[in-house]
Amino acid sequence: MTISACSHHRHETSFTVKESHHSYYLETSFNEDLTHDVERYLNDKIGQSDPSILIDGSGDRRITLSDHSSFHLVTEPGYMQLKLDKDQNSKASYQRIRSICQGLKAVVIQPTPIDQ
């Protein structure tokens, strides 16, 4: 099992990834002001595989893309959770969703003036 976590307490931001042979899990909490940036990022990246999918607002949904990638996504202002069952997805699907999640880290963890 792989666990990766990053936390910036000053802004109550967290980014946690848990991975096993059978699943991939991402949970992130972030400044609510970044919610539209997160939605825009997800729509851009997911839209490359399936333009009919639109992430907008709060929701608890099962998403299946046109390439048969399938995952569970929970979104709320300032929060996102994604669960992917590796046994139900191809290796290419898993790698694509994992790459999207890795890119999301740069969206939710904004450098502060002290970090720069």
pLDDT score, position 114: 61
Domain boundaries, the chain: 2-108
Give the integer Cα–Cα distance in Å for 4 and 43: 24
pLDDT of residue 11: 55
59-84, pLDDT tens digit by residue?
999 999 988 999 999 999 999 999 99
pLDDT in tens, 20-49: 999 999 999 999 999 999 999 999 999 888
Q: How many residues are there in the chain?
A: 116
The percent of residues above 90 in pLDDT, for the chain, comes to: 70
What is the Cα–Cα distance from 32 to 6, expressed in whole angstroms? Answer: 18
Across the chain, mean pLDDT equals: 88
